[in-house]
Amino acid sequence: MLNELRSIVQEVYASTDLESVLSIIVRRVKASMHTEVCSVYLRDQLGGFRLMATDGLNPSSVELVVLKLDEGLVGHVAAREEPINLDLAEDHPKYTYFPETGEERFSAFLGVPIIHQRTVMGVLVVQQAPKRKFDEGEEAFLVTMSAQLAGVIAHAEATGALRVFGPKESARFEGVSGSSGVSIGAGVVASPLADLNSVPFETCENTTDELAFFHTCLSAVRADIKKLGVTLESMLNKEERQLFEAYASMLDDTSLAQEVKLKITDGACASFAWSAVILEHVKTFSSMEDAYFRERASDIKDLGSRVLAYLQESTRKELVYPDQTILIGEDLTPSMLAEVPMDKLAGIVSVKGSSNSHIAILARSMGIPTVMGAVDLPFTRLSGKEMIVDGYRGNVYVDPDSALRTSYQAMLDEDKQLVAKLEGIKNLPSETKDGHHVALWVNTGLLADTMISLERGAQGVGLYRTEIPFMLRERFPSEKEQCKVYRDQLEAFAPYPVTMRTLDIGGDKALSYFPIEEDNPFLGWRGIRVTLDHPEIFLGQVRAMLKASEGLDNLRIMLPMVTNIDELDIARMLIDRAIEELKEEGFKIIPPDVGVMIEVPAAVFQVEAFAARVDFISVGSNDLTQYLLAVDRNNPRVADLYHSMHPSVLMALKAIVVGAHKQGVPVSICGELAGDPVGALLLMAMGYDILSMSATSLLKVKSLIRSVNLVDAKALLEEVIILPDTDAILRKLQHTLQSVGLEKIVRPSFH
């Protein structure tokens, strides 16, 4: 059955509309399982499950039969969220007879729920006249089929294909938060040229002209390929020359062109029609068992990109950015962001990427609500659609209904009012009502962060991401280039301290010119492990930092991803070596404070040993949380399991402070938890000396600190840290803050 399943899935993903998908499913599943009926019921906007496709029941009953949740066997499958396998359906107490279906002659019943991200989207059913239970293999096949169907249905919801019955309902897609906040606006799809996967859907005004244009582009590419083949003829052997002939023959393939023509005739623009057809063929060849044919998939993709470049270049239009633009793309880049007028950019949504992606870091520095990793978002079809970006929870809503829009508009208005109100405290001290001071620093990576950070009262930099100058180049930056960048940052914040983290690549931070390919990158070659293996990189960076700090002396050096004491000892030896070298070269270097980041569980249990060897300890709570919970924080499918308020995380964070303070070493924290006001409240109660966060969070955190007493915060910490789970902790925190009127300040924790 595996081959059958692969074949069906391939056909499903090659289809471009929901009606075709459902037709393929019921027809192919019925044939594969040798049964008499296969039907698909989908959840409508009223919460019922409507018969949307069938092969075996009366066709006239399609779209007419609807079952409520837990009504009939179909509704019961949806309510239970698990398969139901019966040899005699009518004997089950939930059996409900619908005469219009003609199903009374079928005894055997197997129904499985179609579930996408914990939401029941529908029910897939097979039936047979003979009284018998479907075997385990058949049940497993249908469960697998329903899982494949779930993603297709979710895409259909987003593009409006399911909004036929009942009131309009918005489609929700989950990602991870890249930058907090809320925005409401219109989608604008940004895509690089000749990217087959990112061609936005557009209609054509005149199909005759569009068809002629398509053929003109085909002819141009055909001529290019023949010319290239002639040019290289003397340099290629016979087999290699045949590749160019194969490319030309593919362009002459009437069936390929015919498929594109049909889509254009249906109203699609040539570039979208071409990309859709090519991607269908790429999927078909990629799934073939024969290795030779699988390899042809890359040839087809290359050819498709060549033609697409002509199609797009000839018709490229300047993107129009509405006043509230939600920029959408598969893998957005800073250059795409730069093309949008800043006064019109309201939100950002990227299908790929993580909270550590360059685009997310830029968004945080600019205060633009952003969602990353929205993997199920059918982004090519969202141009012009109204959207809501919830950067607090990492959700994206498409075509929001009036109630949802009103709710988020109220949240947006509240946020604006709160920001305006908080401006009044930017020059006031960050201390509690009973006089306890907490230093508020910022996380930066770009010089653009500097002004907003200083304007909002930052007292230093707790994390300067030195990898960003490396990410912005196509090679390793020279010592001189690094020195200039670092000097600008140190001068901007002087006399406040600037904590520069040594190069932290690996995991989800890659350099195009220094690729690290690993099966499990988060447990692999990253952080200090990379730079100690390449002391020439480490020494060059440290020398640049030290030279940049000459005369300012506000540098602190921080070592990331340290797991073992010997890593720290070797790094300190190299730093001392760089200091001596520069002194010999005539530089007046004052040795900076050196610290480590506590990011892995092993370091938590050795924090006293680390503290005895360093000048400060800094906690990277983002990585520490994901390692403690074994949850990839950038994976939207498990994002709900990642929570910095988990009891184990809070206990680890408290233990770090206790261990470091035993050695008389100050402790800072620079993860997202520090920028969450309620998280900052607990961290302050634990004894953290410095909280470092994005500049956009600074005033909210200061406001909460100034609104409480340290003694009350400590009492609250003692209450929540013994609670059994995250939900209990959040409920307690929410109740406490609501009782004193502070819940609006801490929106990221509770919404």
**Active site positions, annotated:** 358, 670
Q: Is 72 left (phi over 0), alpha (psi -120 to 50) or beta?
A: left
| DSSP symbol at 206 | -
Backbone φ, ψ for residue 614 (5° rounding): -125, 170
Residue 173 and residue 631 in contact, taking contact as beta carbons nearer than 8 Å? no
Residue 249 and residue 255 in contact, taking contact as beta carbons nearer than 8 Å? no
Distances 534 to 71, 483, 485, 620 between C-alpha atoms, Å? 65, 19, 22, 23
Backbone φ, ψ for residue 87 (5° rounding): -85, -25
Distances 706 to 428, 438, 681, 703 between C-alpha atoms, Å? 9, 10, 10, 5
**Cα 338 from Cα 262, distance rounded (Å):** 37
Q: Which residues of 214-250 are buried (b: 16+ CB within 10 A; e: fewer)?
A: beebbebbbeebeeebeeeeeeeeeeeeeebeebbeb
**Cα 180 from Cα 177, distance rounded (Å):** 7
Strand extents, DSSP E, 151-249: 171-174, 176-179, 182-189
CA atoms within 13 A on the CB side of 454: 14
Backbone φ, ψ for residue 219 (5° rounding): -65, -40
Query: 183 has which bridge partners?
Result: 389
* 374: nearest Cα among 199, 173, 200: 173
Q: How many CB atoms lie within 10 A of CB 516?
A: 15
Residue 512 and residue 474 in contact, taking contact as beta carbons nearer than 8 Å? yes
Provide the token pair at 286. Answer: 């990629």
Q: Where are the alpha helices (DSSP H) in 520-675?
A: 528-533, 535-548, 565-584, 601-604, 607-611, 621-629, 647-662, 672-675
**Cα 10 from Cα 531, distance rounded (Å):** 44
**Cα 736 from Cα 413, distance rounded (Å):** 24
**Cα 220 from Cα 682, distance rounded (Å):** 65
Place of tokens 């009127």: 741
